[in-house]
């Protein structure tokens, strides 16, 4: 099962905290700033296993390096953006699968907002993280 928390960042951005409950695996999607994410994580999970980046823009990657240092997290993003995503460790391509605990995310390349923009889609959880491909909330 996947729990999702929404954390407001900057003035009009949102990051998502994912917790796969069976394995207690934790990720943050598009952390624009580290302080607010770190405060939330300390209260609820006290760890971040993965940082998912949908694309390289600062309002989606600004917290990468600091959070990686604090939690020794692995940064996951597009192979096409490997030179532009700060601290990237795991480089994914279109139609590749990424296992997050017991949940599989399929990666979709959705160029447009940026050339290397990707979405993380889980069929079993009926959720997709689209970054700036589709706008919701902000």
Name 18's bridge partners.
Answer: 4, 27
This prediction's pTM: 0.94
Handedness of CA 10, 137, 134, 124 (dihedral sign): positive
pLDDT tens per residue across span 52-83: 999 998 989 999 999 999 999 999 999 999 99
In degrees to the nearest 10, what's the CA dihedral of 7, 57, 19, 9? -10
Q: How many CB atoms lie within 10 A of CB 31?
A: 32
Task: Using alpha carbons, select from 136, 129, 92, 98 the residue that is nearest to residue 16.
Answer: 129
Beta strands in 1-137 (DSSP E): 2-9, 13-20, 25-29, 50-52, 74-78, 88-92, 97-100, 103-109, 118-122, 127-129
pLDDT tens per residue across span 85-97: 999 999 999 999 9
């Amino acid at each position: 099962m996947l729990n999702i928390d929404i954390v407001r960042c900057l003035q009009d951005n949102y990051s998502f905290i994912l917790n796969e409950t069976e394995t207690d695996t934790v990720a943050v999607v598009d952390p624009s700033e580290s302080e607010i994410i770190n405060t939330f994580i300390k209260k609820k999970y006290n760890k971040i296993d993965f940082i998912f980046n949908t694309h390289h823009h600062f309002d989606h990657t600004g917290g990468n390096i600091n959070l990686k240092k604090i939690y020794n997290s692995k940064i996951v993003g597009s192979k096409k953006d490997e030179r532009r995503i700060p601290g990237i460790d795991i480089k994914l391509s279109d139609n590749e699968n990424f296992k997050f605990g017991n949940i599989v995310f399929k990666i979709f390349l959705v160029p447009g907002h940026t050339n290397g923009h990707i979405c993380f889609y889980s069929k079993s959880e009926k959720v997709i993280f689209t970054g700036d491909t589709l706008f919701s909330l902000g």
